[in-house]
Every structure is written in structure tokens, then in C-alpha cells.
Structure 1
Amino acid sequence: MASISILELKPGIKLSKDVHTPMGGLLMHKGTVLLPRDLDILRAFMVQYVEIDAGEGDSKNGSKPTLHKSVKKEQTSAEPIAPPSSLHEEYDRLIQLVKSAYQSVVASELPIYELRNQLEAVIAHIKDYNPLTFVPRSMNEYDYNYHNAVLSALSSYLLSKWSGLQQKDWMQAAFAGLFHDIGNTKIDPTLLYKPQPLTTAEFEEMRRHTTYGYQILKNVTAINEGVRLAALQHHEKVDGSGYPLRLDGSKIHVYAKIVGITDIFHAMSLNRIYRKAQSPYLVLEQIQSEAFGKLDPSLVQIFIKKSTEFHNGTIVRLSNDQIGEIVFTDNNNPTRPMVSVGGEIVNLVQKRHLYIDEVITLN
């Protein structure tokens, strides 16, 4: 182990010891391989030295040190061990499966059991997923519908769990998120990807994706009626102003209420053809304002409270590009905590022009 000045650090070097902020919060974990952004974070928190393995700093390009021959020999003589899968790997597999299923669903049956198995493989990593912090490794705007489906599935699974539904409902709520927009497969792609505002006739055709979705799911096994109703009802509002049936809150299935929230959240926080992604924190604030008369207010509060439950010491980037550390969160204003930036406390409740743009590391 060796101590090295951050002035000598280069991307690719691995930390051999946890790094803490001057206030004691965990900044970076032992074993972190430094990226260029990490060097900026260390400088922002005025960290002077970090601990690395002896020999790491000898590489001028930041590459990992060469393994000793004895280690190489031992590795080649043993049977190869498949590395454990990660959330991102299983997520990417599900994206490809959903993409294939959606593109063929009009002509063939939905491969429901394959989809269920892969959805379960992703949910096996649900402890690593947070709606505010998870970012797909790669995504283009034309794949928006598939990413929205998978993200809505994961967030709906969590929200059903957080809201106290029975365990048997969690996977069905995930299915509701996965299939809520499946009716878009019957919509002309030129409408789905049209960057200009839709005409009245085009808008009415887009609205039909809810009834198309219910029809597609009508004879699918392994899902319950609530999943089908979520496809039909996820644009209904509790005040009766939604579509397609203008139902009031008492007639909207709980899965549809859940998906109505998660769909809006991911629709606004993902890049789309005609609109750039917004900060997930700002999206939560907009959803909170929508809760009065439009979305189920209790589910909205649960979603905001649980998804923002970060410990003090969480490192975030503000909308002015400053990097800071969450030091206090008011339960009444969970999207606007107090953030320590360069030793000064920024109260986001008071400074409304600022907001959290990105969560960088969790404590």
C-alpha cells in the first residue's frame, strides 16, 4: 500500500483504502478504479492523498499492473468460473428480449415465460436498483419505449412493495409496468417518433394505445387482470380527467395507479426524440404537484420518500455543476436536502433555482 498525492493520480488507478470527505462521509470505496470524473470529485473535496496498492502509480497511462507469472499459471490450470451477473447485464438482456417481443407481438404470441424468467433475473438484483440513480449503460432515443417498459417494471415492483401490497402482487405490478405501453406496437412508428406536435387526429390515434394494449394482453397467460387493466387505465386520473374511460380514482386498478406514476417519472427522466431528459429530482417535484387531483397522492408520497432515502454523506452534483455532500434531509422536502459544497451549506429549500442534477455515489 502506498500514499499518493492526487496531483499524481491518473484514471485507471485503483484505491486500496476508503476515501472520506473532511466531514467524515464516505466519498469513494476501497477498490474503486478511478475515472476522470472521480479525480474532479477528489479535488472538489480538497482530498490531498489517497492510498493505492504499491506499484499502481508506476504505470504512466493508469493501466493495471501486470500479474505475476505464478498467478497466471494458477488461473490457467483451474476450471474457468463464470462471473456472477450484474444488474446492468440482466437489464440489457431484458431490453433485447422486450425489443424482440414487441416487434413481433402483432404477428405472434408474446413469449411470456421467457420474459418472466428474464424479468425475475433482473429483479434478483433489485437491491442495486434505485429509480433516481440507475442509468442504462447504452441507450438511443429510438429504443425509448423498451427502456421505459423495463424501468417502469422495476420501479413498479418497488412501489408495490413499498406501498404494502402482498408479495404475490409485486411481480404482477412489475408485469404491469413492463406491458403498460405494449399497445404502441399497433401505432404507426411515424407518430411514435414524430418530433413535431401531433394533430388532433394523430393525438386521438396515440390515445388508442391503451385499448390496443388491453386487447393484446387479453389472452396472455401468467398475468392477472390487473396487468391488463394497467395497460388500459395507466392514463386515467383520480379526478376523472384521464383517458380512455374518464374513470375516477375508485375505479382505477391499483396497478394502473402505480404505473401511472412510474411511467411519468421515467418518461420525463429519459432522453426522447423530441425532448431531453430532465433531472430526476425535478421530475419528482413535478409529479408531487401533479398528485393533487391527478395521481394517487399516497402512492406519490411513498415513491418520493423511498426513492430519495439516501444517507447523509451521499455525493451529488448540483445544477450549477458544483459537487457536494448531502448532510441533512427534511422529510417534508425530501427532494431538497441540505448539501455541503466546499465547506458551505447549501439549503436547496431556500435556493429554489438550484436542484440536484445527479447522484454520484451513495454512502
Structure 2
Amino acid sequence: MTIKAVNEVVAGVKLAKDVHTPLGGLLLHKGKVLLPRDLEVLKAFMVEQVDIESVDGESTRIPTVKSAGQKPALIFAESSQGSGDEEAPSRKDLPLHEEYDKTLTLVKSCYQSAITGELRMYEIRNQMENLLKHHKDYQILKFIPRMTNRHDYRYHSSVLCALSSYKLAQWLDLPQKDWMQVAFAGLLHDIGNAKIDPILLNKPSKLTDEENEEVRRHTTYGYQILKNVAAVNEGVRLAALQHHEKVDGSGYPLGLEGSKIHIYAKIVAVTDIFHAMTLDKFYRNAQSPYLVLEQIQLEAFGKLDPKIVQTFIRKVTALHSGTKVRLSNGSTGEIVFTDSQHPTRPMVAVQGNIMNLMQQRQIYIEEVIS
């Protein structure tokens, strides 16, 4: 092991110890082979020296074969680190999108049949099983449906909530028997809207008190539709009823406090807000997913379950270094470091310069590109 000043370190050496930020956060893992962008990160955090592995007194530099057209800065191998739950094979999105489209079509028909109180749960379960076979390929910040329009907003929201709620149930270590039921909760939480006048649901101007009261009834309508459906458990029914309840008792329809709200409803409350704000509606354009996560984080204080919120934000932002993003100022760059204390404000390399979004608060990530 050799201790070297960061200014003397070259790309390709391997870290012998973890490197931490001045505030104690983990910056780079032991065993990490340093790339040029890693050296920039170390300097940006004002790390003065690091411990690197050595052989016979010399630091080990690990070259790899340079492929045709590869940038010189990337000719050193990066050590194999776990890439987090949000990573997935890059070429497996086609089956996911195909099953997503089938599920979307089925949800549309279910909204029509729900008006008469009939749900084709056998078909729904089979299709959900087909969709969830590809859940590892579903990355919440990256997935974009192939065909979207504002008329289908609520159906897209339902399918996306199903996928995201399924993953969130796993991240929260819920028993496996709950995973599919939580996915049903996400898929069917807004089914009561089938009985609400579409003109009210899509009204661009502020609702009157009477109109608002009618829209809020979608929660009780949803519970009534699901109460005689044998294929779902009580948690799914309660998610339809309670997903607008708040842990401080300020929600609706019953004004329940945190301990009285079912865990499924708490999960769906988070995914519902996220997808509602990141999809185009009749009266509002989609918002930046990173800004939405920040708003959800603010909601966690007294409104949403804080553990569920923090788990959701931490997991969905666990993108590997090198993930390409588009910023609100129009520039594109790559994520080089994400501080676990501020996951929505990573450091981004743009044309050779590192931007610390914690310091430049006026700029935010508009879109995850790849």
C-alpha cells in the first residue's frame, strides 16, 4: 500500500482503502480503479491524499485493451462494483415495453368494465405476472413508455404505479407474498375514477368545492368496486380507499393518522405522487423527476411515511457513475458522484468540468438519458 497525494495519482491505479468526503460520506470504494473523472471528483472534494495498492513498492496500474474509437481517457478498467438495484441489462427493454403496452390496453378495458362493477381479475393477474417477469429491467428514472398521450395519462399512471410499488415493496423488505398484492394496489388504486365524470378529472381550472368533493369520492368508489373482488386482499382495497390519507391526519376521505393507514396505501401514496407529477396531463406538462423527488422529500415531513420516502429516493437515484443526464440549462453531462445525504443533487461532469448541483441550486437534472 502506498499513500500518494491526489495531484500525483494517475488514472489506472487501484484504491487500497475507502475514500471519504470531508463530512464522512463514502466517496469511492476500496478496490476502485481510478478513472480520469474519479481524479476530478477527488480534487473537487479537496481530498489531499489516497491509499493505493502497490506491488514491490510501485503502484499498480491496470491497463485494458483499447477498443476502436474509444476515448483515451477510458482505456483503464473500472473495478467491478455492485451497480445498485436500478441497474439492468441495457438491451432487454423490448419485452418490458411489449408487456407494458399489453397491460396498458387491459387497464383501459378494466376502467370501462369497472363502471358496472366487473373486473377481469384472471386476465389482470396473468398479465401482471407477464409484466413483472421483467421488473429488473424497469428503472424508474429511465423508463419511458413507447406511446404516450394526455388522454391515456391515468392508465399510464396506473401501470407505472404498479411497477414502482412492486419494486418499493421489495426495497422495504416486505414479505414476498405481499409483492404481487402491492402491485395490484398500484394498478387499481385509482379505479374509482371510472365513476367520476371525465370532464371533472381533466378540468384545467380550479375545481369548485362541490366538484372537488365529487373527485375525492373516487377513493370510496374504488373501495366499493374492489370489496367483492376475491383475487385481491384487503390491503389492495384499503390502498384504493386510503392513498390520499396523510400521516398527520390531514388527508381524505377519513382523516386517518399514520398508524391507521395500511402499508400498501403508504407505498402507493409515494409512487402515485411521483408518476402523477412526471407524466403529461391535459392541464400540466410533466415535471423533472429530480425536482419531483425533492418535492416528495418535503412532503415526507408530516404527510408521507418518511421511511418509505427515503427508501424510494435513495433507491431510484442509485445510478452508476457515467449515467448521462440532461440538465435544466440545456447541457448534457454524466453523473460522477451521488452523495447519499443529497441524492437528488449529484455531481455532474459537463464538457470536462464538474458541476456540484448542491452548490448550484438553480440547475437541476431535467432528464436521465441513458
Alpha-carbon distance change, 20 to 306 in structure 1, aligned in 2, over 3 angstroms: farther
Q: What is the distance in 1 between the residues matched to 2:291 and 2:70?
A: 28
Structure 1 match to 2:257: 248
Amino acid at match of 2:141: L
Q: CA deviation at 1:300?
A: 0.2
- After TM superposition, list the pairs within 5 Å mapping 1:80-119 onto structure 2: 86-107=95-116, 109-119=118-128
Amino acid at match of 2:149: N
In the aligned structure 2, how far is the partner of 1:22 from the partner of 1:154?
40
Letter in 1 for 2:222: G
Where does residue 357 of structure 1 map in the other structure? Answer: 366
Is 2:321 aligned against 1:344?
Answer: no
How far 1:195 sits from its partner (Å)? 1.3
The alignment partner of 2:74 has SS state of: coil
Structure 1 residues 309 and 19, CA, compared in 2 at 3 Å: closer, same or farther? farther
- Give CA-to-partner distance per residue, 1:6-30, whole Å, 9 cap, x none: xxxxxxxxxxx6875665399xxxx
The answer as to whether partners of 2:158 and 2:187 remain within 8 angstroms in 1 is yes
Q: Which of 223, 227, 231 is 1:218 aligned to?
A: 227
> Is the contact between residue 239 and residue 294 of structure 1 (CA under 8 Å) also seen in structure 2?
yes
CA RMSD of aligned residues (A): 1.8
- The counterpart of 2:74, out of the listed 24, 27, 39, is 24
Partners of 2:127 and 2:93 in 1: CA distance: 15
**Is 1:303 aligned to 2:322, yes or no?**
no
Letter in 1 for 2:316: S
Distance 2:117 2:255 in 1: 32
Within 5 Å, which residues of 2 pair with 1:156-167? 156-167=165-176
Q: CA deviation at 1:287?
A: 0.1
Q: Distance in 2 between matches of 1:106 and 1:192?
A: 16
Q: Secondary structure at the match of 1:138?
A: coil
Measure, in 1, the Cα distance between the counterparts of 2:239 and 2:68: 45
CA-CA distance at 1:107 after TM superposition = 2.2
Q: Cα deviations across residues 167-211 of structure 1 (Å, max 9, x unaligned)?
A: 111111000000000000010111011111111100000000000
Q: TM-score, normalised by structure 2?
A: 0.76
Q: Note the C-alpha offset of 1:140.
A: 1.0
CA distance in 2, matches of 1:199, 1:344: 50
Identity %: 66
**Cα distance in structure 2, aligned partners of 1:84 and 1:159:** 20
Q: Does 1:332 align with 2:341?
A: yes
1:132 to 126, 141, 151: 141
| Partner Cα distance (1:185, 1:321) in 2 | 39
Number of aligned positions between the proteins: 289
Query: 2-side partners of 1:277 and 1:182: how far apart?
Result: 22
Question: Aligned with 2:255: secondary structure?
Answer: coil
CA spacing shift, 1:22–1:153, aligned 2, 3 Å: farther
Aligned to 2:271: 262
Aligned match of 2:286 in 277, 297, 301?
A: 277
Name the CA shift for 1:136/1:215 in 2 (closer, same or farther; >3 Å). same
Runs of at least 4 residues off by over 2 Å: 17-26
Partners in 2 of 1:239 and 1:18 — Cα distance? 59
How far apart are 1:96 and its partner, in Å? 0.3
Rate the CA distance shift 1:209–1:345 in 2: closer, same or farther, 3 A: same
The CA deviation at 1:109 is 1.6
Distance 1:208 1:108, change over 3 A: closer
Q: Larger deviation: 236-245 or 103-112? A: 103-112
SS in 2 for 1:86: helix
| Structure 2 residue identity aligned to 1:302 | T
Instruction: Give the counterpart of 2:208 among 196, 199, 207.
Output: 199
Cα offset, 1:118, TM superposition: 0.8
Q: Is the 8 A contact 1:25 1:313 kept in 2?
A: no
> Judging changes above 3 Å, is the alpha-carbon distance between structure 1 residues 23 and 196 closer, same or farther for their aligned structure 2 residues?
farther
Q: Are 1:187 and 1:209, in contact at CA under 8 Å, matched by a contact in 2?
A: yes
Aligned to 1:121: 130
Aligned partner of residue 326 in structure 2, secondary structure: strand
1:139 Cα shift? 1.0
- Cα contact 1:142–1:193 (8 A) shared by 2: no
Runs of 5+ consecutive residues of structure 2 not aligned to the other structure: 1-66, 77-91
Query: Residue 93 of structure 2 contacts residue 137 of structure 2 at CA under 8 Å; is this kept in 1?
Result: no
Q: Alpha-carbon deviations, 1:254-293, whole Å to 9, x = none?
A: 0000000000000000000010000101000000000000
Cα distance in structure 1, aligned partners of 2:153 and 2:283: 11
Equivalent residues in 2 for 1:28-107, closer than 5 Å: 86-107=95-116
Report the Cα offset of residue 119 of structure 1.
1.1
Quick check: 210-219 or 316-325, which moved more? 316-325
How does the TM-score come out when normalised to structure 1? 0.77
Matched, 1:316 2:290: no
The match for 1:62 is: none
Partner of 2:51 in structure 1? none
Q: Could you give the per-residue CA deviations for residues 99-142 of structure 1, whole angstroms, max 9, x where no partner exists? A: 01111222252000101111111111111111211111111111
Runs of 5+ consecutive residues of structure 1 not aligned to the other structure: 1-16, 27-82
